[in-house]
A and B are shown apart, each in its own frame.
Chain A
Amino acid sequence: MGDTISYFLMAWTDPSLLMLTAIGTLAGIYVGAIPGLSVTMATSILISFTFAWDVNDALALIVGVYCGGVYGGSRTAIMLNIPGAPSAVATSFDGYPLAQQGEAGRAIGLSTVMSVIGGLIGTIVLASIAPFLSDMALEFAPRDYFLIAVLGLLLVGSLAAESLSRGIFAAALGAVIGLVGLDPVTADQRFTMGSMQLMGGIHYVVVMIGMFGVAEAFFQLHQLNAVPVRQKVDKIIPSFKLVLKYLPLSIRTSIIGVVVGALPGTGGDIASLFAYDHAKRTVKNPSKPFGQGAYEGLVAPETANNAAVGGAYVPMLTLGMPGDAVTAIIIGALVIHGLNPGPMLMIQTPHIFWFTVGNLVLANIFLLIFGLTGIKIFAKVVELPKAILIPLILVLCVVGSYSLNSSMTEVYWMLGFGLLGYFMKIFRFQMGPVILGVILGPLMDTTYRQAMSSVGDNGSAFLLDLVTHPLSIILTTTVVLLLLSNTPLKRMIKRRNKTA
């Protein structure tokens, strides 16, 4: 017990670790907030120059960037309707309408406090029930991963778009974009049309920057002369009463976040959508209608995506499996430092586990401090006239896409996706499902084929598997119910019940 506490407090008592966690968190907030920069990109770059550092120093910085970055993505989602990361897509549904109504300060303040609550709950769960959750995740079959990805796409399709058909079309389009390149198993070319440049695939960040950054920037040109909405930043710190009001919802959505985050391959993006859906379905009287600035629509995804950080660490530290893209990079960092991520990590180097837990708590405390104090500067940036902001956003988009491969090809792709995104926005197609499709498409392809291989390419056996295994039954039922709830069948049943 004494050792555990000393491991836990390691980052709290060492000034250099304390400083690195603080710097990482602050940097993460701005990395997450600046369009074109992503936490994944930042952690990849961090690994490249921290591999010679002491492992604790490197992990302290990376944990800070990760926590700060997941939260930072919500800032641009609220202020600019440009989610800094896929996990902040759901935040923009109600966060941006709140900013348009002049409540950006309160929205960011509330999202900060809720992010910290979510982050702390995620860390508590990581520390207490990590072995249990990791055991559960071990039982998952490829078909379950496939079903979870299907569920994620259906959720984002039904939530973000004005009709399920539009949402599913956008998600499928994203999946096709994600599949471009060489098949990972057979190296067959898929959707490359013989182009050498397409064989390496299209990076999802390019699609994200194009569709969220460039398309939004061009859309903003329509309101160039509109009087900017003055962002209220005088009420940054939410009242205790307000926090208390949304505490039960934040606890519920934190649990959703941590559980979804703990599922390998699913991170804050799906967690936040699940949480948003949960809020939409369970909150009877939201502060405003969902999609028009409901605080509940802000609280749910923000607590869930930060809680998912703690959840994502569970399979990474106990099974050596990444919870999301960032933890996949952190696994690489651990290996570089001579550690063995997986079940043996907790046996051979228990200090790494408890150090990480302590570090996550510390990063969340810094998140609260920096999140509540840095809003005025950030809001000032957003208050810049659009004529200044739009060219700057475009430059950041160019830098972000170029830095992926140091190639202008990515920049032209980004511009192309920006144009497509602009047209899609005009004709009421949402960007969220496209991005999720790009990320989940390859995962669905892999897990589908693994599941199919496991039944000897027998379609009937595959379908039977979906309804004969306990976890698969739950997931299949959820998928079917979600589909049915978006069809006229639900309305017919309701009408019939009313008549009866």
Chain B
Amino acid sequence: MSQVQQLKAGERVFNGLLLLFSAGVFYEAFQISGFESLNSPGAFPIMISLIMLLTMISILWGQRHHPKPDTHGAFDEARQFLHEHFPLTIVVFSAMAIGYLALLQPLGFIIATALFLFVSQVYLRRGRFLASAIITVAATAIIYALFKLLFQVYLP
């Protein structure tokens, strides 16, 4: 059973968004075939979306007595949320990951992967250019051989 614990910064907003999402899912489920019959294509989706809605309401209801996060107002809570869960390392690495996906098709798998592995390792390890370069070459070669040649998997 859940213990009464302090809410995290942004938790109420996230759960509220999940409640809205559940309502959206219910609306979409209803759009499939309405309450046509108990055996319609939308019957089970409606059931599932109702379960989502009810459990989310139950979660929010259960949290009403939980201690709030130690913040002063919505702006401070948002600042604390970003500070705790989206530090600079995560933001930069995410940008690199998105860049990697964007470059996969223009540059091809080998070059894009090698570039991503090298740049991200240099950033995360704060330097170590030579070691990162060696690991990048070895890792790219192994991944290519394993997937392309051995498993015959299509690569981007």
Residues of A with C-beta under 8 A to B55: 165-166, 168-169, 172
| Range for the number of chain A residues in contact with chain B | 35 or more
Cβ contact of B90, chosen from A176, A221, A411, cutoff 8 A: A221
Known: A403-B153, A415-B101. A448 touches B44 (CB 8 A): yes
**Contact A395 B116, beta carbon cutoff 8 Å:** yes
Task: Report Cα–Cα, A387/B125, bound state, in Å.
Answer: 6
Interface residues of A in 181-201 (CB under 8 A from B): 183, 185-186, 188-191, 193
Residues of A with C-beta under 8 A to B155: 399, 402-403
Known: A165-B55, A408-B104, A427-B14. A45 touches B38 (CB 8 A): no
Task: Report Cα–Cα, A42/B135, bound state, in Å.
Answer: 27
**Contact A402 B154, beta carbon cutoff 8 Å:** yes
Task: Report Cα–Cα, A69/B56, bound state, in Å.
Answer: 36
Residues of A with C-beta under 8 A to B125: 385, 387-388
Residues of A with C-beta under 8 A to B124: 224, 386-387, 390-391
Residues of B with C-beta under 8 A to A388: 121, 125, 135
Stretch at the interface among A230-238, A269-277, A451-459: A451-459
**Contact B116 A391, beta carbon cutoff 8 Å:** yes
Q: Does A445 count as interface, using CB distance less than 8 angstroms?
A: yes
What's the least CB distance linking A84 to chain B, in Å? Answer: 15
Residues of A with C-beta under 8 A to B45: 176, 179, 190-191, 445
Q: Does A500 count as interface, using CB distance less than 8 angstroms?
A: no
Q: Does B32 count as interface, using CB distance less than 8 angstroms?
A: yes
Q: Does B143 count as interface, using CB distance less than 8 angstroms?
A: yes
Kindly name the residue among B25, B29, B48, B105 whose own CB sees the greatest number of chain A CB atoms within 10 A: B48
What's the least CB distance linking A53 to chain B, in Å? Answer: 15
What's the least CB distance linking B94 to chain A, in Å? Answer: 7
Q: Which residues of A contact B (CB under 8 A)?
A: 37, 42, 45, 48-49, 162-163, 165-166, 168-169, 172-173, 175-176, 179, 183, 185-186, 188-191, 193, 218, 221-222, 224, 385-388, 390-392, 394-396, 398-399, 402-403, 406, 408, 411-412, 415, 423, 426-427, 441, 444-445, 448-449, 452-453, 457-459, 462, 486, 491
16 additional A-B residue pairs with CB within 8 Å, beyond A394-B100, A452-B38: A48-B152, A166-B59, A168-B51, A169-B18, A221-B90, A224-B124, A387-B124, A399-B147, A406-B154, A411-B104, A426-B8, A448-B43, A448-B44, A452-B43, A453-B39, A459-B38
Q: Which residues of B contact A (CB under 8 A)?
A: 1-2, 8, 10-11, 14-15, 18, 25, 28-29, 32-33, 37-39, 41-45, 48-49, 51-52, 55-56, 58-59, 62, 85, 87, 89-90, 93-94, 97-98, 100-101, 104-105, 113, 116-117, 120-121, 124-125, 135, 139, 143, 147, 151-156
